[in-house]
Amino acid sequence: MLATGFEATSDPTCIDDSDTIVICVPTPLDGDGTPDLGSVRAAAVTVSEHLRSGSLVVLESTTYPGTTEDTVRPILEQGSGLEAGVDFNLAYSPERIDPGNLEWGLRNTPKIVGGLTPECTERAVSFYEQIVDTVVPTVGLREAEFTKLLENTYRHINIALINEMAVFCHELGIDLWASIDAAATKPFGFQAFRPGPGIGGHCIPIDPNYLSWVAKRVGYRLRFVELAQEVSERMPAYVARRTQDALNRLKKPMNGSHIVLAGVTYKANVSDQRETPAKPLVAHLRRMGADVSFIDSHVDSFVVAGSEVPRILDIGEAVRSADVVVLLQAHDEFIDSTELGEAACILDTSGKFTGDNVDRL
Ligand SMILES: NC(=O)c1ccc[n+]([C@@H]2O[C@H](COP(=O)([O-])OP(=O)(O)OC[C@H]3O[C@@H](n4cnc5c(N)ncnc54)[C@H](O)[C@@H]3O)[C@@H](O)[C@H]2O)c1
């Protein structure tokens, strides 16, 4: 990238010479679950102080509909003395990156773009056409903002649905994984989602809250979103209980048993620990008296409630020392390993392992 002219800088004066400015700062929730647009506002202030006539500003941060027009636009206009849609172009384009996905990246994933005016949309489309194969314009800013929340809320609700099915199918002795594979052969009307130890990352657990927050402002409760949150938040406690059941079958108590968590990131083959369900799981297991360790080549240090979880580096050692191995994320290192399947007892939340020693979620 450096060889082709890319330069990273923290000097905001670079905006003075920029034709296009893309704002892509974090949009978390604050302590009481309210959208925190602090970074978006701060970045917009910085841009406004250096914005010149003729530039294009694009917001990419995930947020609720109305942010670009109602929050970013006035900051840009006030700081620069320029008018959006007249002196400079303003657009929104959601990030659609799926970390760890080797098939779908920035270039071949269609890019949604919506502008304040048709001219703003056109300008933003021309910009993104230089770097992505397919650009999809929307009728306006709010539709582009809503697209991202719609996509993530759809995923959030379907994951929660299948997580609830996992609990229920286990009670009835149904192999849900087999049923999902069978249902997935239907060429229409069904998309396969698979259960897991809980939702994580900075998108799925967070973005739907942006939607329910804005819905509440107009007096509407998005009960689907709230329910999905509730169901998926229960999963770490459920995995702790299933670990206890596994120990029970071995006639061992949770108190004093050694539990090894394999994969503590929020999804397989990435290093991101944000919102990982492994954290509440560790808290549950510790409260039940378990001695918890982890193994994960993507993570050097894993701290829960201020206390470091001991790391095991070698799969063989993890397998030998654990009373139960809980496979949380099916990193390639675990799937490719010949040793993990040798563990006395595996609670597999990924549905990848089979055998008498394996209990699948
Ligand atoms: N990473 C993804 O895969 C992904 C996917 C879809 C959507 N998103 C969305 O994109 C946005 C950014 O996510 P991320 O994962 O890249 O976040 P991140 O925390 O990894 O990176 C954000 C960057 O913004 C910088 N920053 C913060 N405040 C700033 C300011 N005032 N001025 C200039 N820079 C500032 C930070 O230093 C950091 O480098 C979020 O809204 C997120 O929901 C991310």
What DSSP string runs through 255-291?
Answer: TT-EEEEE--SSSTT----TT-THHHHHHHHHHTT-E
Identify whether the C-beta of residue 334 lies closer than 8 Å to the C-beta of residue 270.
Answer: no
Give tens-digit pLDDT for 44-77: 999 999 999 999 999 999 999 999 999 999 999 9
CA distances from 115 to 17, 61, 154, 214 (A): 22, 15, 24, 21
Contact predicate 273/264, CB 8 Å:
yes
- B/e letters for 105-115, b = 16+ CB within 10 Å, e = fewer, are eeeebebbbbb
Look at ligand 1, atom 36, and give the residue with the nearest C-alpha.
25
pLDDT above 90: residue 319: yes
Give the position of tokens 């944000």. 274
Which H or E run includes 360? strand 358-360
With CA atoms as reference, report the closest residue to 120 among 135, 141, 136, 106. Answer: 141
pLDDT of 292 higher than 90: yes
pLDDT class for 29, splitting at 50, 70, 90? confident
β-sheet bridge partners, residue 167: none
pLDDT at 205 (0 to 100):
84
- Cβ of 21 below 6 Å from ligand 1: no
CA 263/CA 1 separation, integer angstroms? 31
Q: If you measure from the C-alpha of residue 186 to the centroid of ligand 1, how many angstroms do you get, rounded to a whole number?
A: 38
Q: Which residue's CA lies nearest to atom 33 of ligand 1?
A: 43
> Is it the case that residue 100 has pLDDT exceeding 90?
no
Nearest CA to ligand 1 atom 19: 26
What is the model's pLDDT at position 78? 97
Q: Is the dihedral of CA 341, 345, 347, 351 positive or negative?
A: positive
pLDDT of 168: 94
109 lines ligand 1 (CB under 6 A): no
What is each CA distance from 56 to 279, 347, 351, in whole angstroms? Answer: 41, 51, 47
> What is the mean pLDDT of the segment spanning 197-226?
89
169-194: per-residue pLDDT in tens?
999 999 999 999 999 999 999 999 99
| CB 39 less than 6 A from any atom of ligand 1 | yes
CB 24 less than 6 A from any atom of ligand 1? yes
Using most ligand atoms within 8 A of CB, pick from 14, 71, 106, 202 the residue to mutate for ligand 1: 202
On the CB side of 315, CA atoms within 13 Å amount to: 20
Question: Which pLDDT value is given to residue 13?
Answer: 96
Neighbouring C-beta atoms of residue 179, cutoff 10 Å = 12
- Asked if residue 204 has its Cβ within 6 Å of ligand 1, the reply is no
Tell me: the pLDDT tens digits for 268-277?
A: 999 999 999 9
Cβ neighbours for 23, distance < 8 A, ≥ 6 positions apart: 40, 43, 44, 47, 57, 58, 59, 60, 61, 72
Given a contact cutoff of 8 angstroms between Cβ atoms, the answer to whether 76 and 90 are in contact is yes
Query: Closest ligand 1 atom to the C-alpha of 207?
Result: 43
Catalytic residue annotation: 203
In order, the DSSP letters of 286-315 are: HHTT-EEEEE-TT-S--EETTEEPPB---H
- Counting residues of the chain whose pLDDT is more than 90, the rounded percentage is 89
pLDDT at residue 256 is higher than 90:
yes
237 Cβ partners below 8 Å, 6+ apart? Answer: 280, 284
Percentage of the chain exceeding pLDDT 70: 100
Task: Calculate how far, in angstroms, residue 276's C-alpha sits from the geometric centre of ligand 1.
Answer: 18
Mean pLDDT confidence for 246-250 = 95
- CA–centroid distance, 240 to ligand 1, in Å, is 32
Q: Check residue 127 and give its pLDDT.
A: 98
